[in-house]
Amino acid sequence: MDTVASNTIRIDVEHRGNQQVIAACLLTGESGAAIVDPGPASALPVLKRKLAQCGLSVADLNAILLTHIHLDHAGATGTLVAENPRIGVFVHERGAPHMAQPDKLLASAQRLYGEEMDRLWGEFRAVPAENLNILKGGERIRAGGRAIEVEYTPGHASHHVTYFDSSNGLAFVGDTAGIRISNRKYIVPPTPPPDIDLETWGKSLDRILSRKPSKLFLTHFSTAEPVEVHLAELRERLARWAEMVRETLSGGADDAGRASQFAQNVLTEMRGQLSEQDATRYAKGAGLDLCWAGLARYWRKRGT
Ligand SMILES: [Zn+2]
């Protein structure tokens, strides 16, 4: 665990034994503790162990702030709420129905992950509707003993929000500001199906930038700065990946071949700039085949 700001603790949930892939963030305050993106249910034992190291348990939580509902971010939520029904769950209005009735979300994830689904993410339990605090963006909420402003930031997911912590200037950006492990000099955009939209994503980055956060807290993984440089590099790589995927679409290969061609090209580039271990972490966090699929879907929707 690491303190990233006063009363603000990063928890590496060590997803399937891998360090620096998924980070939750614990916000502590006198009126109770909150967690931003608790991670998947498969990582709950680690989350609980690390809460205990902070002298806390699930009973001490009163809020979960979800940036979006993908399983690597939100999977543990229903299980935590079942254990402590006092937890209020903050989520965008387009994601909320799927937290209460996850069948469609899970069917869509099942198509992406197949047989790996349970092993990767564990059980996804529904959250009772009365525990949901539904956001549109523009709200000011209180959680973890501080005021937090909410901004709607779609692009990676159509229901993605960013939380701005008024106590320290941190922006909890989920996946909107990409993947960058412990502020290494390499940033990639996670672009899985089904929502990828480059135009709305770009506007979301503008909105994050305009609030001038001091640092970004990325789920994959930890804090990133300086913010302006980070976001500029992310924009560049997102545009580049989109072009790389578009080029594969005109080739003769089938989709599996196109995805693996893209993944190979990206991995080769990453290996040129990162250690082998880090390149593997980035690839795991992003899921390169899925990144191809999300961008291919974006282009095909536009008739490219
Ligand atoms: Zn993610």
pLDDT digits (tens, 9 = 90+) for 61-72: 999 999 999 999
Residue 37 pLDDT greater than 90, yes or no: yes
The CA distance from 237 to 186, in Å, is 10
The mean pLDDT value for 127-132 works out to 98
Higher pLDDT, 210 or 303: 210
pLDDT digits (tens, 9 = 90+) for 104-123: 999 989 988 898 999 999 99
Residue 304 pLDDT greater than 80, yes or no: no
Q: What is the pLDDT of residue 166?
A: 92
Number of domains in the chain: 1
Q: What is the pLDDT of residue 253?
A: 86
Q: What is the pLDDT of residue 30?
A: 87
Is residue 271, in this structure, part of any structural domain at all? no
pLDDT digits (tens, 9 = 90+) for 196-234: 999 999 999 999 999 999 999 999 999 999 999 999 999
Q: What is the pLDDT of residue 1?
A: 67
**CA 37–ligand 1 middle distance (angstroms):** 10
The mean pLDDT value for 250-264 works out to 91
Q: What is the pLDDT of residue 303?
A: 85
**CA 252–ligand 1 middle distance (angstroms):** 31
> In terms of pTM, does the model score above 0.85?
yes
pLDDT digits (tens, 9 = 90+) for 158-191: 999 999 999 999 999 999 999 999 999 899 999 9
CA distances from 300 to 15, 195, 196, 303, 304 (A): 33, 12, 12, 5, 5
**CA 65–ligand 1 middle distance (angstroms):** 14
- Residues contacting residue 226 through CB under 8 Å, at least 6 positions apart: none
How many other C-beta atoms are found inside a 10 Å radius of the C-beta of residue 82? 15
Q: What is the pLDDT of residue 205?
A: 98
Is residue 265, in this structure, part of any structural domain at all? no
**CA 136–ligand 1 middle distance (angstroms):** 21
The mean pLDDT value for 88-111 works out to 96
Is residue 167, in this structure, part of any structural domain at all? yes
- The CATH number that applies at residue 198 is 3.60.15.10
The mean pLDDT value for 70-90 works out to 97
Is residue 251, in this structure, part of any structural domain at all? no
Is residue 80, in this structure, part of any structural domain at all? yes
Is residue 73, in this structure, part of any structural domain at all? yes
The mean pLDDT value for 48-70 works out to 97
Q: What is the pLDDT of residue 92?
A: 98
The mean pLDDT value for 132-144 works out to 98
Say what percent of the chain tops pLDDT 90.
Answer: 90
**CA 71–ligand 1 middle distance (angstroms):** 8
Domain containing 27 equals 2-236
Residue 150 pLDDT greater than 80, yes or no: yes
The CA distance from 68 to 173, in Å, is 10
Q: What is the mean pLDDT of the chain?
A: 95
What DSSP state is assigned to residue 30? T
Residue 251 pLDDT greater than 90, yes or no: no
Contact criterion met (CB below 8 Å) for 55 and 9: no
Is residue 153, in this structure, part of any structural domain at all? yes
Is residue 121, in this structure, part of any structural domain at all? yes
**CA 287–ligand 1 middle distance (angstroms):** 10
**CA 10–ligand 1 middle distance (angstroms):** 16
Q: Which residues pair with 90 in a beta bridge?
A: 65, 133
What DSSP state is assigned to residue 127? P
**CA 174–ligand 1 middle distance (angstroms):** 7
| Radius of gyration from C-alpha coordinates of the chain | 18
DSSP code string of 245-274: HHHHHTSSS-HHHHHHHHHHHHHHHHHHHS
